[in-house]
Structure 1
């Protein structure tokens, strides 16, 4: 298997992990949750749902503590980025006409937040995730909302404009784009190909996305985070593309986007973790960004 193919497979498989964390988060008391999502468990594979059903708050707390020791900032970082994007989407609902989730995995935002808004949605991911998501949502909801389309595509290879157009999307719609936990699995050509597609978005569109720091991928030492470098860069070679935070505004500007907000990990901790009273952190190697098409 080529490096590109291995990265694509890994990216598809990582769709389950973040939603497993969200589902476990629902075992905490409401005041202690970073993210609230009553659909997350339904999107997990049957074995994972069965295991989750046997877990209570104590088991979830033990798992979160173990994750924090083994992978510092992973649990808190993933949940904070989800909360951040949730809030930005909610704030934008009155100003957008469409949602396009690039690399949607098993994300539930379209089903939790769009009913009754009139906003149409397109969720794009690899065929294996799209098929699994359709099955699990059909079991949970009975039928998928007619305004939501599941679109099978490879973000690194397929032409997004043509693929989405074939499913009814038009770039004239003011769109909220989500590109969460994807960029590091692409190469530079794949990232720029997606940015070129985003450059065709209607003015006033919004983009919420995440990226991994370039200096981390290049081997810069970051205390407590060598485990990530060993696993994702040295051993598997699946994290391939990073961005220098100082270069981010210029990169987006070259494709017609303006950064609105790019909070530091410590700010995310204060905003979303501190109110819960829990001892979690956000990993500094990943950043979240919110931008507007100008």
Structure 2
């Protein structure tokens, strides 16, 4: 599995493509475009039932339940996006879009403008793999050095629009300064906007709550140290309140099992709670 921050968008998309290839009664999510953003050499592995099982076993070496955790994270973000689109949100901004196809699959058909913000290398890679609808605008940025509001405005984003901000699998790669800088920008969003983001638990980064994921800790934290920012669940509402947001919901391992896995007869072994998802509203 990849370890550089610029490589990591491949991992969740490999999981999305693999889940989508499963029979409908056993899959956690459906993303028909996911396989198209994968390298050509990986696509046959996804199409073959035996090698799909092997891919899952490779991922599980990092920690038991991590495959389901990432798949459930993507399922959660899909559901929140679908709900916001049906509620009539005015725009969608995907922060750190990577190779994700959510804007194309769930937003474009509704005629809602979407802005995919990411590193130039990831934007160029996606351009080579799939053709985006005209309503999906790619925005190249380095979150550590460039101003998000200015960069979005230059690409046509209207700040007065009620907006859904999606920030999936990104915050752990940033410094606290970059996280807060992004939240400062989002503080200007109009009331009623939504923010959905994920974060890694601080006690995992501290090494005090590894939940059987020691190998993932060595790879992403102790080794190359590419996971840098974390939170404790109880600290999330306070952080959001500093920037005018109110937490609506927070989900993790237990909720993933109850909502997504048990209805499919999966998840009996549990899911680690090292990464959580949050939905918030602008007040």
Cα deviations by residue, 1:39-62 (Å, 9 ceiling, x for unpaired): 00001122223443xx42233134
Q: What is the CA-CA distance between 1:187 and the residue it aligns to?
A: 0.7
**Is the contact made by 2:63 and 2:214 (CA closer than 8 Å) also made in structure 1?**
no
1:184 maps onto 2:177 in alignment: no
Match of 2:70 in 1: 78
Q: Are the equivalent residues in 1 in contact too, given 2:13–2:34 (CA < 8 A)?
A: yes
* Deviation by residue 1:81-118 (Cα, 9 ceiling, x = unmatched): 11111111111112301010000001111111123312
Deviates more, 1:10-19 or 1:279-288: 279-288
1:223-251 CA-to-partner distances (Å, cap 9, x unmatched) read 31222221111111111011111111010
State the partner residue of 2:139. 151
- Say whether 1:247 aligns with 2:235: yes
Give the length in aligned residue pairs.
279
**Matched residue, 2:250:** 262
Equivalence for 1:59: 51
1:97/1:118 contact within 8 Å kept: no
1:169-223, CA deviations, whole angstroms, 9 ceiling, x for partnerless residues? 0210111101000001001101101111111111111011000111111121433
Partner of residue 15 from structure 1, selected from 9, 17, 29: 9
CA displacement at 1:66 relative to structure 2 = 4.6
Q: Pick one of 260, 283, 290 that aligns with 2:272.
A: 283
User: Whose relative contact order is higher, 1 or 2, with alpha carbons under 8 Å and at least 6 apart?
Assistant: 1
Equivalent position of 1:5 in the other structure: none
Q: Deviation at 1:69?
A: 4.8
Gaps of 5+ in 1: 1-8, 139-143
Distance 2:72 2:159 in 1: 30
Cα distance in 2 for partners of 1:174, 1:23 equals: 31
CA contact (8 A) 1:179 1:210 kept: yes
Which of residues 125, 139, 152 in structure 2 aligns to 1:132?
Answer: 125
For residue 101 of structure 1, the aligned residue among 89, 94, 113 is: 94
| Structure 1 Cα separation of the partners of residues 246 and 155 of structure 2 | 28
Question: Whole-Å Cα distance in 1 between the matches of residues 174 and 117 of structure 2?
Answer: 15
